[in-house]
């Protein structure tokens, strides 16, 4: 990582540096946070594992027709990406009920939904990323009206593609969060990351968790689980190193 790059933004799991006028360098950190940064942790090599998982998934999604901000992978734990203005929404897709929505309606985790559910949360740690309705998001000018169906379309396309891939890796894609940003021409691109930090992944056979719930719920073997996700995805995609 060159010391010359200007730091634009530091988030919980990544640092964003200026690369060129329309490109950024995204560095994946080893830190691990949950519950809007109330719980803090880390493990050595996490940035690299998450960077590798994201790169593999972005390349796969590009092949499936999803436009992403990814340009190139940079050693050891970075990527170069198109600079985008992130829409401050955490776009969540659920295939199986778990986490906050299961809790909110007092439903046991594991209920399979007939159709994928798309939900928006307002990206603001101080407010605890509250649920935001489509109408609220438009009224509060978080997004424009026409962007709402576009965001849902991107989210559902990512979901269909990822479900197939994770199934090949013997993992159920329970739910996940994506972020979308607009490039300088206003084109919407998938941005941020797709990693076990922002997905729930359960083993198809045993239902064992392979995601950040291991950290949130103190289940142990966090590093091993993230590494296993990468290994299974590499096998599923036939990636040779
Ligand atoms: P939730 O059950 O806590 O609402 O989260 C659903 C999924 O989305 C889960 O895989 C975690 C992910 N997520 C994030 O990574 N960051 C967020 O801010 C939110 C709201 C969800
Ligand atoms: N992504 C959110 C955070 O980092 C929610 C969570 O993972 O628990 O706090």
Range 152-180 average pLDDT:
98
- pLDDT band for position 3 (50/70/90)? low
pLDDT of residue 1: 54
Cα–Cα distance, 190 to 196 (Å, whole number): 17
Cα(80) to ligand 1 centroid in Å equals: 25
Q: In whole angstroms, what is the distance from residue 2 CA to residue 168 CA? A: 38
CA distance 16 to 85: 12
In terms of C-beta density within 10 A (0-12 exposed, 13-18 middle, 19 or more buried), how is residue 162 classed?
A: buried
Question: pLDDT band for position 220 (50/70/90)?
Answer: very high
d(CA 189, CA 179): 9
pLDDT digits (tens, 9 = 90+) for 181-207: 999 999 999 999 999 999 999 999 999
Rounded to the nearest angstrom, the distance between the alpha carbon of 122 and the centre of ligand 1 is 11
3-state per-residue secondary structure call for 118-143: EEEEECCHHHCCCECCHHHHHHCCCC
Query: Does the CB atom of residue 121 touch ligand 1 within 6 A?
Result: yes
How many Å apart are CA 239 and CA 17, to the nearest integer?
Answer: 29
Helix (H, G, I), strand (E, B) or coil at 42: strand
pLDDT value at 2 more than 60: no
- Both tokens of 90, joined, read 């955490």
Alpha-carbon Rg for the chain, nearest whole angstrom, is 17
Among 162, 158, 180, 183, CA closest to 236: 162
Closest ligand 1 atom, CA of 199?
10
Kindly state the percentage of the chain with pLDDT values over 90.
Answer: 94
Q: Take residue 93 and report the two structure tokens written for it.
A: 């897709």
User: pTM, whole model, 2 decimals?
Assistant: 0.96
| Ligand 2 pocket test target in 11, 36, 193, 200 with most atoms within 8 Å of CB | 36
Q: Which atom of ligand 1 is nearest to the CA of 123?
A: 18
Nearest atom of ligand 2 to the alpha carbon of 39 = 9
What was the pLDDT predicted at 4? 73
Cβ–Cβ under 8 Å, residues 70 and 62: yes
The 10 Å Cβ neighbour count of residue 133 is 10
Report whether residue 90 contacts ligand 1, using a CB cutoff of 6 Å. Answer: yes
Q: What is the mean pLDDT of residues 146-165?
A: 98
Is the confidence at residue 234, as pLDDT, over 70?
A: yes
Average pLDDT, the chain: 96
CA of 178 to the centre of ligand 1 (A): 9
pLDDT at position 191 is: 97
Residues of the chain with pLDDT > 70, as a percent, come to 98
Ligand 2 centroid distance, CA of 35 (Å): 5
């Amino acid at each position: 990582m060159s010391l010359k790059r200007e730091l634009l933004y530091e988030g919980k799991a990544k640092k964003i540096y200026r690369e060129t006028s329309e490109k950024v360098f995204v560095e994946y950190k080893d830190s691990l946070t949950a519950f809007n940064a109330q719980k803090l942790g880390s493990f050595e090599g996490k940035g690299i594992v998450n960077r590798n998982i994201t790169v593999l998934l972005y390349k796969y999604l590009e092949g499936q027709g999803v436009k992403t901000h990814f340009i190139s992978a940079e050693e050891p734990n970075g990527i170069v990406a198109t600079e985008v203005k992130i829409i401050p929404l955490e776009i969540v897709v659920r295939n199986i009920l778990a986490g906050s929505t299961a809790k909110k309606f007092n439903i046991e985790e594991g209920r399979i939904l007939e159709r994928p559910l798309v939900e928006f949360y307002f990206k603001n740690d101080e407010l605890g990323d509250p649920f935001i309705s489509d109408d609220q998001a438009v009224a509060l000018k978080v997004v424009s009206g026409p962007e709402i169906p576009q965001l849902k379309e991107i989210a559902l396309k990512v979901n269909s593609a990822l479900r197939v891939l994770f199934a090949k890796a013997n993992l159920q894609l329970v739910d996940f969060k994506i972020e979308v940003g607009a490039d300088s021409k206003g084109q919407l691109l998938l941005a941020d990351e797709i990693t076990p930090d922002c997905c729930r992944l359960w083993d198809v056979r045993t239902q064992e968790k392979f995601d950040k719930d291991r950290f949130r719920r103190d289940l142990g073997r966090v590093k091993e689980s993230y590494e296993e996700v990468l290994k299974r995805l590499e096998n599923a995609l036939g990636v040779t190193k």
